[in-house]
Structure 1
Amino acid sequence: MTEWNIQGLNLHVQCLGAEGLAQPAVVFLHGLVMDNLSSWYFTMANPTARERRVLLYDLRGHGRSDRPVSGYDLGSFVAELDGVIRRAAFDAPVVLVGNSFGGLLALAYAMAHPERVDSLVLIEAHAHVAGWGEEMAATLSLEGEAANHKIALHFQDWLGRHSARKRNRLARNARELIQETSLIADLRRTPPITDTRIASVQVPVLALYGEHSDIRERGEALVATLPQARLKLFDGCSHSIMWEATARVRDELLAWLATRPAMVPGGVR
């Protein structure tokens, strides 16, 4: 297991692909609470690493990374991501691939550090709807059995992919993150991202959403606001397209990467 100390926190990091592979490198960002880097590692990361350098890490409070008591606002996640990218010392701007909250993080990072981003792939990304933080906080802040039931419903597609043992571990970690940190309070304070800020993102964006996703309209609004965005809807899928259509998502990602100019030592490939 590789650990990087970023802003005083030990983060679990995985780097794949040989040093000589083409840039831009790909950085995978997972979702919030009931997720970690393994959702990428066992699906998209290794196929991507055949052609590109790949970096994935557990966000603070998730997986094998440290779980601080506070610091779960979007700005802290952006600063953490910036520290990871700087530590990796890539030779060119990166492709950020984010699922759910990871997509929001990718978008926010592109706003804060446009010079370090080649393009974005946003998978079922929550974006700029007012009250998003309150909505997520309400889902996660119930107590006792009500909380367990609500969390299970919210993440049922993700949980259903794992053994009972792993489901129990994920649920336990989620409860600890919710109950023992400032996550809920920080989510409630999360302001919506304005259309003006979204429109400032000038890099190419691929947005992937399920045909029957409960946030499809948000995705359509997001794509309509971004200057260089393309929307792909997955027929028959809901919010969890990462699990419902893994191969199709992978194919879309690899096809997207093939369109990005590939820099190798000595010039363009």
Structure 2
Amino acid sequence: MAEVIANGVRHHVQRLGPTTGAPVVFVHGLVMDNLSSWYFTAAPRVARARPVVVYDLRGHGRSDRPATGYTIDVLAADLAALLDALGVFEPIGLAGNSFGGALALAFAARHPERVARMALVDAHGGAPDWAEKMAATLELRGDARDRAIAANFRNWLGRHSARKRTRLAAAAAALVYDTTLVDDIRRSPALAGAQLAAVRCPVLALYGEQSDARAAGERLAAALPDCALRIVPGCTHSVLWERTDEVCGALADWFAEGAR
């Protein structure tokens, strides 16, 4: 385990695979997620051929949880500072799942020279109202909140023991109720127009056939200059956990191609 100070926040970072070459950086989803969702799925597969970096976003996993700083602009600045701290200045591979995909897109739009190739797995961010919908979901309480968590995370949470699920729920509650996360997400609008056009790298977009984010993925594929959209049959938003082997293979092939 490594601890890296980036943008004034201590981040938990893990590195896998070869020690030379441009890495592939994996960005996880929001609130109930952390780097382990990549660490135990696609990251080791990609690391057979490429250096890999996985990290906990601020407020998540073993990273610090400051009271503020959860807009997508700040989180993108965290990633830029993290790469600087790690001495990574060459163009990277970048993969994002769910909210992590929205963050990956934002980073690539702000720093196109730093991203050589990108993969999005059921990424949010393609719909104009994505931030408002996400903030509204995070504000749910009681049974409504529990139903939303079950719908979005049942496959991920099902991999953990009851004790681990309890810890994840407690960490998520602290993040939602003790920080400015909800307001900051609401102030993080979707990329559009010239911002999406600034994403110059090739993009692979994987979306579940039955996912509520599929329409956003189709809009992204049409708007990005170089995007290959792949719909995964029978899957919901949790495509990474519903078809883990298929997604891992697709990402390994995608980033191996980028290394040649």
TM-score (norm 1): 0.92
1:6 positional shift: 1.2
Inter-partner Cα distance in structure 1 for 2:188 and 2:6: 23
> Does structure 2 conserve the Cα–Cα contact (< 8 Å) formed by 1:11 and 1:58?
yes
1:44 positional shift: 1.3
Alignment of 1:54-69 (within 5 A): 54-69=52-67
> Does structure 1 conserve the Cα–Cα contact (< 8 Å) formed by 2:89 and 2:114?
no
1:121 and 2:119 correspond: yes
Question: Partner amino acid for 1:220?
Answer: E
Alignment of 1:99-110 (within 5 A): 99-110=97-108
Alignment of 1:13-52 (within 5 A): 13-20=13-20, 23-52=21-50
1:131 and 2:129 correspond: yes
Q: Which residue of structure 1 lines up, in the alignment, with residue 197 of structure 2?
A: 199
1:200 positional shift: 2.1
Question: Partner amino acid for 1:67?
Answer: R
Q: Which protein is bigger by CA-based radius of gyration?
A: 1
> What are the Cα deviations for residues 84-124 of structure 1, in whole angstroms up to 9, with x where unaligned?
11122236210000001111111111111111110110000
Inter-partner Cα distance in structure 2 for 1:49 and 1:237: 26
Q: Which residue of structure 2 lines up, in the alignment, with residue 11 of structure 1?
A: 11
> What are the Cα deviations for residues 203-254 of structure 1, in whole angstroms up to 9, with x where unaligned?
1000001111111111011001111100111111111111000000011011
Question: Partner amino acid for 1:221?
Answer: R
Inter-partner Cα distance in structure 2 for 1:162 and 1:5: 29
**Relative to structure 1, is the Cα distance of residues 91 and 177 closer, same or farther in structure 2, using a 3 angstrom cutoff?**
closer
Q: Which residue of structure 2 lines up, in the alignment, with residue 82 of structure 1?
A: 80
Q: Which runs of 5+ in 2 are unaligned?
A: none
1:142 corresponds to which of 140, 143, 150 = 140
Inter-partner Cα distance in structure 2 for 1:96 and 1:233: 20
> Does structure 1 conserve the Cα–Cα contact (< 8 Å) formed by 2:126 and 2:217?
no
> Does structure 1 conserve the Cα–Cα contact (< 8 Å) formed by 2:201 and 2:226?
yes
> Does structure 2 conserve the Cα–Cα contact (< 8 Å) formed by 1:10 and 1:66?
yes
Q: RMSD of aligned C-alpha atoms? A: 1.4
TM-score (norm 2): 0.95
**Relative to structure 1, is the Cα distance of residues 105 and 3 closer, same or farther in structure 2, using a 3 angstrom cutoff?**
same
1:254 and 2:252 correspond: yes
Q: Which residue of structure 2 lines up, in the alignment, with residue 98 of structure 1?
A: 96
> What are the Cα deviations for residues 176-205 of structure 1, in whole angstroms up to 9, with x where unaligned?
110000001111222222233112211100
Inter-partner Cα distance in structure 2 for 1:92 and 1:190: 27
Secondary structure class of the residue paired with 1:52:
coil
